[in-house]
Structure 1
Amino acid sequence: MGVRPQGRFEGRVTVITGAAGALGRACATSLAREGAKLVLFDRDAEGLSETAKSCPGSEIMTGDVRSAADVKSVADVARDRFGPVEMLVAAAGVAGPSKAAIDVEEDEFDLLFDVNVKGSWLAAKYIIPHMRELGHGSVVLFSSAAGLRGSPVLPVYSASKGAVTLLTKSLALNHATENIRVNCVCPGTIESPMVRMSIEEAGDTVAQAARESLQKSMHPMRRFGKPSEVVGAVLYLLSDEAAFTTGIALPIDGGRLA
């Protein structure tokens, strides 16, 4: 049996939040294939176990990105198992609700900002110190096309992702002289269970078809993206090929923002 060729990320310790979701799982699988040592974090234990099947040797941890204690624990476990963390993919996030901003309930607002913004900040807060020890590192946060342009359909989600975009840029400036790069990806609508669920919530099959058609029409390519099409950008931003790239918000949106 031949020796497996080294990948771009051979031996690099990586934490992935939201690793049970479609995008987090796709990132984990691709990074595992290229040799990264992975710590997978999500509150969905069953989904994490499924992700781990395609990531041999990975460490899985169940917890909440809104909890400082949980996120700190991930950083500590990563160090104990593999060593200081060199790469971070903060893919945990929630969407919705589909209503005008002033009609959103306080608990709905808090959930979006706690998961999408606070969760990203906590991940950076507890992982970037590892990168300082190493003298280098790379962070990819998950924003959205809705985080670059206001949304009448998902206004508070859009606001939360806008905060992630500017958090990315601020972190990039904070740590540029430390050889720690921070970027974010801004996907359009990506085919996933979460998107399917939002379509099914429209009602009967006619209403669902109308909602799906409307969502696809917002993308000039007239289709939803695939998780693999986002992963390629994430891996590029993590890699040494992007060594002079920091503070960018990269749209992957089928031309939606063109």
Structure 2
Amino acid sequence: MAGRFEGRVAMVTGAGSGIGRATALALAREGARLLLFDRSAVGLAGTATQCPHAEAVTGDVTKAEDLEAAAAACAARFGPADLLVTAAGILGPALPPELLEEAEWNQLFDVNVKGTWLTIRAMLPQLREAGRSAIVTFASTAGLAGSATLPAYSASKGAVVMLTRSLALVHAAEGIRVNAVCPGSIETPMLEATFASAGDELAQAARQAAFRARHPMQRFGQADEVAETVLFLLSDAAAFITGVALPVDGGRLA
């Protein structure tokens, strides 16, 4: 499948680590030119060194001015982007909602929901100009089913799912497809943080075992496995697919 994205231009947020990085590397291997965006300059540099045709822009997805600057950098370097992946996101505290501070709740929705919206808003003129465009947002299985461990995170990802489906309806006539991936438990720094927040080593091991048991395949997913799903949704093979929230979860929601 090498070369599926030759001549295509993609912006990937959250490209400094985890699934965002895996997606950027997969797109680069298949010929895409990339605008990489993340708040971590170190993480971005690590990704950019592995992508032959990439521009890295450090910024915050909660700040419209940072995203507008990234959009301008993309257009100046490569021309209009026709692919967009909004992988930036945070986990938030593993606490019941009544124990969250208001600032913690706000940050979750600012990054996961507002950040997705602001990114799409900044890139939409380019996606329209390019035509035959595709957006993949990042939700979660926790956005399709409730989570007792991460209820606030679950609420934010549920909002991303509904934003994705709504935007698919809004932009279908313009030839812009909008889909979401909904990963289960994927071996990334975010999953490690989920286990670490459980407490001591015994509690961490118990949480890890509980999370693994939720997946009928009896293992956690890999970032590359989610990245391949993202590439499918971006590709012409998915030309008649829009408004989908696709679980990549080892059967967890089956």
When normalised by structure 2's length, the TM-score is 0.97
Taking the aligned partners of 2:141 and 2:80, their CA distance within structure 1 comes to: 32
Q: Which runs of 5+ in 2 are unaligned?
A: none
Residue 86 of structure 1 corresponds to which residue in structure 2? 82
* Structure 1 range deviating more: 58-67 or 203-212: 203-212
Shift of 1:197: 2.5
Residue 40 of structure 2 corresponds to which residue in structure 1? 44
- Residue 208 of structure 2 aligns to a residue whose secondary structure is helix
Deviations 1:55-95 (A, max 9, x none): 01210000000000001111111000000010000000000
Residue 228 of structure 2 corresponds to which residue in structure 1? 232
Query: Which residue, out of 60, 65, 74, partners 2:61?
Result: 65
Residue 172 of structure 1 corresponds to which residue in structure 2? 168
Taking the aligned partners of 2:170 and 2:194, their CA distance within structure 1 comes to: 37
* Contact 2:138-2:180 at 8 Å conserved across structures: yes
- Residue 149 of structure 2 aligns to a residue whose secondary structure is coil
* Structure 1 range deviating more: 189-198 or 232-241: 189-198
Identity rate of aligned residues, in percent? 56
**Aligned partner of 1:184: which letter?**
A
- Residue 141 of structure 1 aligns to a residue whose secondary structure is strand
**Aligned partner of 2:206: which letter?**
A
Instruction: Answer yes or no: is 1:95 the counterpart of 2:91.
Output: yes
Aligned pair in 2 of structure 1 residues 150, 246: CA closer, same or farther (>3 Å)?
Answer: same
Taking the aligned partners of 1:16 and 1:101, their CA distance within structure 2 comes to: 30
- Residue 254 of structure 1 aligns to a residue whose secondary structure is coil
- Residue 168 of structure 1 aligns to a residue whose secondary structure is helix
**Aligned partner of 2:221: which letter?**
G
* Contact 2:94-2:194 at 8 Å conserved across structures: no
Shift of 1:6: 6.0
Residue 143 of structure 2 corresponds to which residue in structure 1? 147
Query: Which residue, out of 5, 22, 25, partners 1:26?
Result: 22
Aligned pair in 2 of structure 1 residues 253, 176: CA closer, same or farther (>3 Å)?
Answer: same
- Residue 145 of structure 2 aligns to a residue whose secondary structure is coil
Taking the aligned partners of 1:91 and 1:182, their CA distance within structure 2 comes to: 14
Question: How does 1:179-198 map onto structure 2 within 5 Å?
Answer: 179-198=175-194
* Contact 2:136-2:179 at 8 Å conserved across structures: yes
* Contact 2:12-2:36 at 8 Å conserved across structures: yes
**How many residue pairs are counted as aligned between the two chains?**
254
Taking the aligned partners of 2:196 and 2:242, their CA distance within structure 1 comes to: 38
Shift of 1:96: 2.6
Shift of 1:205: 2.5
**Aligned partner of 2:178: which letter?**
V
Taking the aligned partners of 1:102 and 1:9, their CA distance within structure 2 comes to: 46
Taking the aligned partners of 1:124 and 1:70, their CA distance within structure 2 comes to: 13
Taking the aligned partners of 2:134 and 2:239, their CA distance within structure 1 comes to: 9
Query: Which residue, out of 133, 139, 143, partners 1:137?
Result: 133
When normalised by structure 1's length, the TM-score is 0.96
Residue 113 of structure 1 corresponds to which residue in structure 2? 109
Shift of 1:207: 2.2
Taking the aligned partners of 1:39 and 1:191, their CA distance within structure 2 comes to: 25
- Residue 131 of structure 1 aligns to a residue whose secondary structure is helix
